[in-house]
Amino acid sequence: MSGVEFVASMGEGHFRPRAGGVSSEPAAEVYYGESLESYTAEMRPPNHGEVEVRYWDEKKKKTIKGSAKNKKGSGKRVYRVPVESKSEAKDIAKSKLEALRVEGTAETFGIPSIVAGKVVKLKGLGSKFTKNYYVTQATHRMGDTGYRMSFEVTRLDE
């Protein structure tokens, strides 16, 4: 999996960084039972084959890095995280490699600021799911029931 994705909007297409490269400021906040009418989530195992954690130690003028591998996945994900030792970097890499991905689908009334590539805050879903999510797809509809939308999300790394 590469670090970019292709997005088409308003007749134009362009490449941009995936979720790790976007602003974590939510474009909108929706609360379950109010503006968020439904939300279905799935927890999936990670799909990357290797995670590397690296940090530049300014005092020692060297890179500290650690990694963990998953034989079932493919690709490599690199995190820049402040660490003090190689073992700490390896432990963080292992925890990130084993972390479950949370993906979901939501339904609400139309909110124009919720579009693919933006971040949305889902609230009122309990501590496990009340988080910031990256919008991977959004469908806006106008019909007999008014302005409605559905969108798909992936939870951002914490």
Q: Is the dihedral of CA 118, 123, 127, 129 positive or negative?
A: negative
What is the predicted pLDDT for the residue at 6? Answer: 65
Identify whether residues 18 and 94 lie together within a single domain.
no
Same domain, 12 and 38: yes
Of the candidates 61, 99, 60, which has an alpha carbon nearest to the alpha carbon of residue 79?
A: 99
Whether 151 and 112 map to the same domain: the answer is yes
Closest among 121, 138, 135, 133 to 157, alpha carbons compared: 133
CA atoms within 13 A on the CB side of 82: 2
pTM tops 0.95: no
Q: Domain check: are 117 and 141 in the same one?
A: yes
Given phi > 0 = left and psi -120 to 50 = alpha, else beta, which region is 96? alpha
Look at residue 1 and tell me whether its pLDDT is greater than 50.
Answer: no
Report pLDDT for 16. 58
Q: Are residues 66 and 81 in the same domain?
A: yes
137-150: average pLDDT: 93
Query: How many other C-beta atoms are found inside a 10 Å radius of the C-beta of residue 4?
Result: 12
CA-CA distance, 44 to 27, in Å (whole number)?
A: 25
Q: What is the mean pLDDT of residues 34-41?
A: 93
pLDDT in tens, 101-119: 889 999 999 999 999 888 9
| Tens-place pLDDT, residues 74-103 | 788 888 888 889 999 898 888 888 777 889
* Tens-place pLDDT, residues 10-24: 666 665 555 545 566
Domain count, the chain: 2
User: CA gyration radius for the chain?
Assistant: 18
The reported pLDDT for the residue numbered 9 is 61
